[in-house]
Amino acid sequence: MAEKVTIATVARHARVSRQTVSNVLNAPHIVRQETRQRVEDAIHALGYRANQAARQMRTGRSRLIAARIDPTRDGINGSVLDRFLHGLTETADAAGYRVLLYTATDDDREIATYGDLLGTYELDAFVLVGTKHGDPRTEWLADRNVPFVTFGRPWDALDAHPWVDVDGAAGTAGATRHLLDAGHRRIAFIGWPVGSGVGDDRRSGWRDALHAAGVDPTGLHRETEDGIAEGERLMRDLLVAATPTAVVCASDSLALGALQAIRGVDPPVSVIGFDDTPVAAAVGLTSVSQPLGEAAARCVDLLTGVLDGDHETPTPVLLQPSLALRHTA
Amino acid sequence: MAEKVTIATVARHARVSRQTVSNVLNAPHIVRQETRQRVEDAIHALGYRANQAARQMRTGRSRLIAARIDPTRDGINGSVLDRFLHGLTETADAAGYRVLLYTATDDDREIATYGDLLGTYELDAFVLVGTKHGDPRTEWLADRNVPFVTFGRPWDALDAHPWVDVDGAAGTAGATRHLLDAGHRRIAFIGWPVGSGVGDDRRSGWRDALHAAGVDPTGLHRETEDGIAEGERLMRDLLVAATPTAVVCASDSLALGALQAIRGVDPPVSVIGFDDTPVAAAVGLTSVSQPLGEAAARCVDLLTGVLDGDHETPTPVLLQPSLALRHTA
DNA sequence: TCCAGAAACTTGAACGATCCAATCCTGCCT
DNA sequence: AGGCAGGATTGGATCGTTCAAGTTTCTGGA
């Protein structure tokens, strides 16, 4: 078993004091070039790595970021989180942070977990995926001055915390324009019940795009909980009640249901989903694609900004989605 | 800003020494009942939480487990990892451990990351998902006596490390028997190239089930890299060359391709996939389902066994998959 | 009543880093 | 040569916990 390499070992090896080694690591500019080189050589030769626990004890910073991993809900949109987490881990790593996972079944438990993570692990920050109206979690964190970013804008606009989001309205608007350009006029929308921030946002893009083109959207939209079966049901309803020639959906799940409903219908009805999930790619569904890797990267940017003592409130980031064209539209 | 609550605060409050508080936390049985109660009350009243960094410094244990999060490869099988990670986080949490994520693009970098994580964060253990013949990662970890578990058995059988796996052969055998029971005799198999442990395992289940039923599998199998397009290509080939009435696939990706190849074929060809991914559920594909939550739980069990000083090599765990019946078979 | 031995509890040291304040150089000016 | 400013370097204290080695209190048997 090799001797443990500490900052003192490096100091002895480089014939300097512990503090100088520490300075080389944390404030290289105040160390003379020659000394710095000698210390860096020693660090390299000995394979020294700063012990995070000891550092944390002095500084109170853990260089750890927490993110929640959900049970895959409907199984389709789960992969969005998957891709986001991957991007988060990668970017955080590059910035010198690590990602810690946690789970929670409801808001109360999640908040209890915050307390635990902050108390025992001294987490530096949280990344929350998804926010809702009157989210108690953001309030709790903000009250305690815990740094955090949300992937998903704050729908209440009460408190301004750093956030990154993808412009859902722009996504559905783009999808709708794509259909308009293809000559469609009766373009329907299947979305989520009014009151969900994300759902309302996505619906507004569709509506605005139609208005801008001088098309009346009346009677062409339906709302429901997310799910394949629901998508199928509402699409069947739309087919008889409104005879659309195309439909934009708030999720790939709904779009997949719609696809099943239009099987065999002639002329074929165009379908566009949202999220560009693996399922969409698999079945050839055109879908609005979110730049998840970039979203994760911007989350880390915002956090490091806050953590590294940037006192001004960082500017929120709104990213533009793109349309992944496949054969359903 | 409230005063920081340390073990000393609790000690003062309960009129005992620091060490006694520590004992209540780590070795309750050596503290008198009455004293213990007093300390526990103080802990509760003050909202004390043990500082992990300080504890780690003394004990060298971080109560952190590392798991790798991959970029979603083909986009379909990614959700397997997703579900596994969720289970891992949940079970680890219950056992008092937290899950730390890392990424790596190749084996060398991954091993470098091990060094980094061990050196700076003093990780307690690693969970590796997927193993291959001559895996350099398991060798590296084993050489350094780093505790780890693999989800996926060691295919070389050289070194015995703790592992959890799902019996792939049993899965494909079950799928094959299901088809045999339905009256099929010409049951094909589309799998991965010979040499991949997982692929060979899954193929053997199909072959053995056919043999057991007295059916000759000659000419009924094909091998390729994973992917929807490949599945479709090989299925077309099988249709003309071997006229199967059913096919078992090594993955949902391949099965999805096969589904596309048989569209319109009459009488319909039955298809069974592997992994029970969201895509399978979405398109109604019958698929072999792995108990991922349980697999994750058993991984944690094995690890805590090793970490909590259980010196005997733990018994590997082989879990049985089930068949998620849908309308393709 | 006394004492040995066990049980319960306490004190000082240590883990490995950073912070703080003091000291040592070094070059420059007089 | 001496003084001085300023940067470079150093030693001691400290973070919150557990370990090791005491010290006190309790228990029961002679």
The length of chain A, given as a count of residues: 329
Q: Could you report the per-residue pLDDT of A79-116, keeping only the tens digit for each?
A: 788 889 999 999 999 999 999 999 999 999 999 999 99
Mean pLDDT computed over A230-257: 94
Model confidence at A282: pLDDT above 90: no
The length of chain B, given as a count of residues: 329
Pairing relationship of beta strands A163-166 and A317-319 according to DSSP bridges: parallel
Residue A297 with chain B: CB contacts under 8 Å: none
Q: Which residue has the higher pLDDT, B4 or A209?
A: A209
A228 interface with B at CB cutoff 8 Å: yes
Q: Do A282 and B281 touch (CB under 8 A)?
A: no
Q: Does residue A273 contact residue A287 with C-beta atoms inside 8 Å?
A: yes
Model confidence at A72: pLDDT above 70: no
Low-confidence ranges of chain B (pLDDT < 50): 1
- Can you tell me the distance from the alpha carbon of B144 to that of B126, in angstroms, rounded to the nearest whole number? 13
In SS3 terms, A23-43 reads as HHHHCHHHCCHHHHHHHHHHH
Q: How far, in Å, is the CA of B58 from the C1' of nucleotide D19?
A: 8
Q: What does the mean pLDDT of chain A come to?
A: 91
Note the strand C nucleotides within 7 A of protein beta carbons.
7-12, 14-21
Q: In terms of DSSP H, where are the helices of chain A? A: 7-14, 18-26, 33-46, 52-59, 78-94, 107-116, 136-143, 168-181, 197-212, 228-242, 252-261, 278-283, 292-307
Which of B6, B182, B297, B311 shows the shortest CA–CA distance to A120?
B6
Residue B52 with chain A: CB contacts under 8 Å: 53, 120-122
Cα radius of gyration (chain B): 25
B127 by DSSP, 3-state: which? strand
Model confidence at A149: pLDDT above 60: yes
Helix (H) or strand (E) segment spanning residue A101: strand A98-102
Model confidence at A75: pLDDT above 60: no
Pairing relationship of beta strands A317-319 and A322-324 according to DSSP bridges: unpaired
Which of A51, A52, A55, A26 shows the shortest CA–CA distance to A39?
A26
Residue B99 with chain A: CB contacts under 8 Å: 100-101
B112 interface with A at CB cutoff 8 Å: no
- Can you tell me the distance from the alpha carbon of B240 to that of B217, in angstroms, rounded to the nearest whole number? 16
Q: How far, in Å, is the CA of B262 from the C1' of nucleotide C22?
A: 83
A96 interface with B at CB cutoff 8 Å: no
- Alpha carbon A72 to its chain's center: 15
Q: Does residue A277 contact residue A77 with C-beta atoms inside 8 Å?
A: yes
pLDDT at A66: 97
Q: Could you report the per-residue pLDDT of B80-138, keeping only the tens digit for each?
A: 888 899 999 999 999 999 999 999 999 999 999 999 999 999 999 999 998 888 889 99
Residue nearest to nucleotide C18 (CA to C1'): A58
Percent of chain B that is helix, strand, coil (3-state, to 5): 50, 15, 35
Model confidence at A172: pLDDT above 50: yes
pLDDT at A260: 87
| Residues of chain A above pLDDT 90, percent | 70
Q: Do A98 and B102 touch (CB under 8 A)?
A: yes
pLDDT at A4: 84
Model confidence at A133: pLDDT above 60: yes
Q: Provide the pLDDT confidence category of residue A78 given band limits of 50, 70 and 90.
A: low
Residue A59 with chain B: CB contacts under 8 Å: none
The residues of the protein lying within 7 Å (CB) of strand D read: A 15-20, 23, 30-32, 34-36, 54, 57-58; B 4, 6-8, 18-19, 21-22, 25-26, 48-51, 54-55, 57-59
A37 CB-near residues (< 8 Å, 6+ apart) = none
B56 interface with A at CB cutoff 8 Å: yes
- Helix pair A107-116, A136-143: axis angle to 10 deg: 30
A97 CB-near residues (< 8 Å, 6+ apart) = A63, A64, A65, A124, A300, A303, A304
Q: What is the DSSP letter of A192?
A: P
Residue nearest to nucleotide C10 (CA to C1'): B17
Size of interface A-B (CB pairs under 8 A): 150
Residue nearest to nucleotide D19 (CA to C1'): B58
Q: Do A78 and B79 touch (CB under 8 A)?
A: yes
Q: In terms of DSSP H, where are the helices of chain B? A: 7-14, 18-26, 33-46, 52-59, 78-94, 107-121, 136-143, 168-181, 197-212, 228-242, 252-261, 278-283, 292-307
Q: Do A120 and B50 touch (CB under 8 A)?
A: yes
Model confidence at A39: pLDDT above 80: yes
Q: Per-residue DSSP letters for A199-241? A: HHHHHHHHHHHHHHTT---TT-EEE--SSHHHHHHHHHHHHHH
Q: What is the DSSP letter of B26?
A: H
Q: Provide the pLDDT confidence category of residue A1 given band limits of 50, 70 and 90.
A: very low
Q: Does residue A327 contact residue A286 with C-beta atoms inside 8 Å?
A: yes
pLDDT at B1: 46
Q: Provide the pLDDT confidence category of residue A199 given band limits of 50, 70 and 90.
A: very high
